[in-house]
Amino acid sequence: MYGGMWKIPVPDIRRTDLLVVMGANPHASQGSLLACPDVMGEIEGIRARGGRVVVIDPRRTGTADRADEWLPIVPGTDAALLLAVAHVLFAEGLVDLGTLAGRVDGVEAVGALAADWPPERVAAVTGIDADRTRALARDLAATERAVVYGRIGLCNQEFGTLASWLVDVVNILTGHFDVAGGAMFPRPAAWPVTDLPMPGLEGGVPSFARWRTRVRGAPEVLGHVPVSCLAEEIATPGPGQIRALLTVAGNPVLSTPGGDRLDAALAGLDCMISVDNYLNETTRHAHVVQPGLSPLEQAHHDDLLWLFAVGSAARYSPPVFPPTDGRPHEWEILIRLAGACLGMPADEVDVTGIDDGFFDVMASTQGLDGPTLRARYDAGGPERLLDLTLRTGPFGDRYGEVPGGLTLDKVKAEPHGIHLGPMVPRLDEVVTTPGGRVVLAPLYITADVPRLANRLDRPGDGLVLVNRRHLQSNNSWMHNVAVLVKGRNRCTLHIHPDDARRCGVADGGLAAVASTAGRVEVPVEVTDAIAPGVVSLPHGWGHDRPGARLAVAREHAGINSNVLSPGDFVDVISGNAAVNGIPVTVAPAG
Ligand SMILES: Nc1nc2c(c(=O)[nH]1)N[C@H]1C(S)=C(S)[C@@H](COP(=O)(O)OP(=O)(O)OC[C@H]3O[C@@H](n4cnc5c(=O)[nH]c(N)nc54)[C@H](O)[C@@H]3O)O[C@H]1N2
Ligand SMILES: Nc1nc2c(c(=O)[nH]1)N[C@H]1C(S)=C(S)[C@@H](COP(=O)(O)OP(=O)(O)OC[C@H]3O[C@@H](n4cnc5c(=O)[nH]c(N)nc54)[C@H](O)[C@@H]3O)O[C@H]1N2
Ligand SMILES: [Mo]
């Protein structure tokens, strides 16, 4: 739509008057692709200034509890709801692109698609009244500062691409795009590595399915294939079989669909190297583990998340503790591994040379000569790169050309960081499609609408499983910290009282949950904070594998919910796993 996969708009929650949250729970996650200090305080601020917050989620989350309205939706049907919203916008003449007028291609194409999706057609499937859908469309159109925000519950589902695309479509059709209070492209002080041109996106035009996976034939998307293919690619013999694996800060045995099958497959690799601080469910299979320094032993300036921050700012944190045992920094480990993967003996890799070369590439994208610039620095590594990206970023001093501009030294002198203002319109700068126009209706995406139409005719699924996050977990890796796991067991099945009664399970009892992929036994928590027909489990638990060195986590093991995620239940056009909306059965265990 905009010429690159990292061009992701974020909701301007500090200035909006109507926030529609779909499939996100900032109360737990603290904001996803939405970096904002005190994110819930800002969301409550919308109501405090007379605005409104609507949460569309199958669960009544902590965010929904603080909103004006909770609309429980049937999992996986958000794309249908949003197409109906678009339908109303066109049918009632409410489309108004605002500042984007004349800069968007494909508006008519979206109108033609949406014509077939009146709210009445989808209400029975989404569970949201046609009248409510119409009112939502009218409110979005009539509110000067309004925005729809969709996150992981929207993309990690069966129609993830369509739903995520339609969030932007609705924001654009209602004129709430690239303007204050709408969806905007943030402006990081230090430009991130994601600004580099992407292979496979030359000229801003993506091509897909340039190759397919060996076993299942899944199409490549921007160089990626579904991680749910990994176990079969390792386990299936033949030419092209994966025999070596490098993991960096990932725990896919717990985080990916069919994690139990991946667990078994990893044991058969010829070579596995993990860069990780913990010996956990995944890294226990590694032949070599390279622990980087702890985050507290390293300096920090974020490279990625400022790209999704509601304001511009820069902040540098020095290490809290000096590293004690002379271990290398993670960036050195990674450069050495990269060299080794290219066939160099690990101890002969020219770490300094590769670091210099990378600096030169980064400098050249700014029209600067790397070797000349490097002569100004005493040392290489991340801080030299950070100084470069700050100084050549939107607030930088461009090495003296812009007096008073930012440098790393200036940022270091302000331990609490430097505020650089709210988001500003920057469509022209960001969009790199041919002609610099927003491609509102990419064919690759719109061709998926018939699959969604088929979903409308599918009989009801019975119970479906969705995911939930908790403030005190971070995916799988906070569970070995005693203070974060003490108290009530959080790895429980949430189920509505009506469903509990029907399935014969009781609060505090043990339930057997089964899908086509697997089966787990898990304690039950009966709650009305979930829609009937939906159950929920958190992911990232299941710390009972032998060989992991996680003594605290083992005491609070829980179950791996991804045993229930079928690897072939994917959002077909992205290949991304649907870990939400999985059909399951629930019965008393034993
Ligand atoms: N404390 C904490 N913070 C985290 C993380 C963590 O594990 N713990 N993880 C980090 C990561 S990696 C990410 S990606 C972000 C994610 O951050 P968020 O996107 O805010 O993720 P969740 O909190 O999982 O909220 C997703 C919501 O989607 C709902 N949902 C499920 N299926 C559907 C559906 O079909 N439709 C709709 N409308 N809703 C649905 C779920 O009920 C859930 O409330 O959080 C990050 N922050
Ligand atoms: N069912 C279900 N599955 C999901 C999701 C869901 O909502 N539901 N969410 C999905 C999402 S959005 C995501 S992002 C993935 C997350 O999946 P993963 O990224 O695989 O999971 P994490 O638990 O975050 O793994 C982080 C790893 O980094 C290590 N680590 C921590 N700090 C450091 C460090 O400083 N350096 C290094 N090198 N390693 C470190 C930890 O020990 C851990 O092994 O899970 C996905 N899986
Ligand atoms: Mo994530």
- Ligand 2 atom 3 nearest Cα: 255
Structure confidence at residue 292 (pLDDT) = 85
Whole-angstrom distance, CA of residue 103 vs CA of residue 433:
11
**54-82: average pLDDT:** 98
Ligand 1 atom at shortest distance from the alpha carbon of 157: 35
Q: Is the CB of 275 under 6 A from ligand 2?
A: yes
Q: Is the CB of 571 under 6 A from ligand 2?
A: no
Which of the pair, 201 or 57, is modelled with greater confidence?
Answer: 57
Query: Of the bound ligands, which one is closest to the alpha carbon of residue 469?
Result: 1
Whole-angstrom distance, CA of residue 475 vs CA of residue 249:
12
Tell me the residue type at 134.
Answer: R
What confidence category does residue 141 fall into, taking pLDDT thresholds of 50, 70 and 90? very high
Whole-angstrom distance, CA of residue 105 vs CA of residue 440:
6
Neighbours of 460 (CB within 10 A): 11
Residue 546 CB partners (closer than 8 Å, separation 6+): none
Report pLDDT digits (tens) over 401-410.
999 999 999 9
Sorted by where each starts, the structural domains of the chain and their CATH numbers stand as 10-186+431-448 (3.40.228.10), 450-588 (2.40.40.20)
**524-570-494 Cα angle (round to 5):** 10
Structure confidence at residue 190 (pLDDT) = 97
- Ligand 2 atom 4 nearest Cα: 255
* Long-range contacts (CB closer than 8 Å, 24 or more residues apart) made by 117-122: 117/80, 117/83, 117/84, 117/86, 117/87, 118/84, 118/87, 118/88, 118/91, 119/84, 119/87, 119/88, 121/84, 121/456, 122/77, 122/80, 122/81, 122/83, 122/84, 122/456
How confident is the prediction for the chain on average, in pLDDT? 95
Distance 190 CA to ligand 3 centre (A): 22
Instruction: Name the nearest CA neighbour of 311 among 35, 39, 20, 40.
Output: 35
Of 224-228, 535-539, 577-581, the poorest mean pLDDT is in: 224-228
Distance 529 CA to ligand 2 centre (A): 26
Tell me the two tokens of residue 96.
Answer: 């108004």
Q: Is the CB of 561 under 6 A from ligand 1?
A: no
pTM over 0.85, yes/no: yes
Residue 434 CB partners (closer than 8 Å, separation 6+): 203, 204, 205
Report pLDDT digits (tens) over 346-400.
899 999 999 999 999 999 999 999 999 999 999 999 999 999 999 999 999 999 9
**470-488-583 Cα angle (round to 5):** 55
Distance 24 CA to ligand 1 centre (A): 5
pLDDT over threshold 90, residue 461: no
3-state secondary structure of 500: helix
What confidence category does residue 215 fall into, taking pLDDT thresholds of 50, 70 and 90? very high
